[in-house]
Amino acid sequence: MDVLLGAFKALIDAGSYVMLPIIITIIGLIFRLPLSKAFKSGITITCGFVGINLLVNLLKSAVSPAASAMVTNFGLNLDVTDVGWGAISSITWASPIVAFLVFEILGINILMLVLKATKTMDVDIWNYHHMMIAGILVFYVTENIVWALIATAMTAIMTLKFADWTAPLIEHFFGIPDVTLPTISYTSSIIVAAPLNWVIDRIPGLNKLNFSIKSVQKYLGVFGDPMMLGLILGIAMGGLALFPVDKAFLTGVNVAAVMVLMPKMTAMFVEGLMPISAAAQKLTSEKFGGNGLSIGLDAAVVVGNPEVITTALIMIPVTILMAFILPGNRMMPLADLAVVTFRVALVVALCRGNVFRSILISIPVMAAILYAGTFAAPYLTGLAQSTGLSFDGQIACMAGPSLTQTAIVFWSCISQNAVIVVPVVIVIFAAVWFLVEKKIGMEKIEAYAAEYDEM
């Protein structure tokens, strides 16, 4: 175990830009691609991923100062501080049980693939911390490794299935086929968003309201172009932050650059993915009767979508306002405001680019995150202190136990009646699984997602 953990940590420490081409090359060889083609695909995908991350970081650097300034301007001063997902990730990887949880997640993914219970081959190993934090928090509270393993298993299985069920949205809305996104900061929103979207579809009048970049371009002309829209939204954010004119304009230029360049990086990413995807579909069709595989990747590949950025830039001041007015909320959104894109991306895809509906649904999605973060703050703060970190006051973030999926697992496993509550949660999830795959059917989800191509 120590040898395996040492090798795994060495690979993790090398970073995703080293891991990704190695993993993709190995996958290509497994799917019978020649070494040269497999390696080229790995490098091409990685280059696209590097470009995407550079643009995501550019967006963060543009949005973070404005978001922080808005927090100050709103006079927000709550006693639970959002320290960001990065801090939570470091706390997670410092846990003494991390090795057990890593190999548990790997084992669950492999077992589900063998049993044909998932189509997602999750290679997004550096984001395993999203799936491990529930188990690590449960272990901190209960000091029981069994409950920690149960919590991690529940989280992993839910994540893989949510990734499977939302794959058609990725293909048709984001234009990336044969890929799933098992990143909980992305998938978790579906728990709130899917029921609300179903309800809105059945409200006369409201179900007809549609505002998307595609629909407004014909009315706004040049100002409906994603580049110009990014410029306008960035300047508006700078204005809300009370920036000087030049700094507000610079914020707008950076957002506009992300909107223009992100589709080009995504296209490069897809270009590298296609040979792997074609080989995977051919092999799985021959060996498993057409039960094709999808490669599970970081949700960063979709957060640069113009509708996603537009929704996120609108939701940042809305989230700050909600933190101020929601009764009982104590969480001050701060560090993770720059990555609201991850929280709303799946909402936007589910709404097929309808920014109006995306904002309407994102409000309760973000409200749930604020409340879950508030309630989990004492546990997260204690866990951080147990790893040697200290903060002024209590901490939270818009990831970890603040995410709806993780919160459900965490609270069920530390409940005084966990032996009753956990089976109830499992039964409910099993019922949802049956409903989605047997009653609704993936064909209907595919058809729903494909409607975007005709809009």
The maximal CA–CA distance of the chain, rounded, in angstroms, is: 62
Any idea what the Cα angle at residue 171 is, between residues 165 and 175, rounded to 5°? Answer: 155
Which pLDDT belongs to residue 62? 85
Parallel/antiparallel/unpaired status of strands 179-180 and 294-296: parallel
Tell me: the pLDDT tens digits for 113-124?
889 899 998 988
Q: In angstroms, what CA-CA distances link 73 with 66, 312, 324, 328, 392?
A: 10, 19, 12, 21, 21
**Alpha-carbon 79 to chain mean position:** 26
Provide the β-strand partners of residue 332.
Answer: 81
Among 365, 379, 373, 393, CA closest to 329: 373
Count of alpha carbons within 13 Å of 129, Cβ hemisphere only?
Answer: 16
| Amino acid making up residue 294 | S
Q: What is the mean pLDDT of each run of 10 residues along the chain (455 residues)?
A: 63 71 85 88 87 84 87 83 86 85 92 91 85 95 96 97 95 90 95 96 90 67 74 89 92 89 82 80 63 82 88 92 93 88 95 93 97 95 85 86 96 96 97 93 90 74
Q: How far apart are CA 443 and CA 450, in angstroms?
A: 10
Q: In angstroms, what CA-CA distances link 358 with 156, 222, 256, 423?
A: 26, 23, 21, 33
Parallel/antiparallel/unpaired status of strands 331-332 and 294-296: unpaired
Among 131, 121, 112, CA closest to 184: 131
Phi then psi for residue 392, to 5 deg, are -85, 100
User: What tokens does 62 get?
Assistant: 């543009």
Q: How far apart are CA 195 and CA 366, in angstroms?
A: 15
As a whole number of Å, the end-to-end CA separation of the chain is 53
Which pLDDT belongs to residue 326? 94
Question: What DSSP state is assigned to residue 395?
Answer: E
Which pLDDT belongs to residue 404? 96
What residues contact residue 388 under an 8 Å CB cut-off, 6+ apart?
94
* Long-range pairs, 430-435, Cβ under 8 A, ≥24: 433/161
Q: How far apart are CA 414 and CA 378, in angstroms?
A: 14
What residues contact residue 12 under an 8 Å CB cut-off, 6+ apart?
19, 93, 125, 126
What residues contact residue 118 under an 8 Å CB cut-off, 6+ apart?
109, 112, 160, 161, 163, 164
Report the SS3 class of residue 154.
helix
Which pLDDT belongs to residue 308? 92
In this structure, the number of other CB atoms found within 10 A of the CB of residue 372 comes to 24
Segment (H or E) for 394: strand 394-396
Phi then psi for residue 80, to 5 deg, are -120, 115
Which pLDDT belongs to residue 430? 97
Which pLDDT belongs to residue 349? 95
CB 48 within 8 A of CB 272: yes
CB 49 within 8 A of CB 20: yes
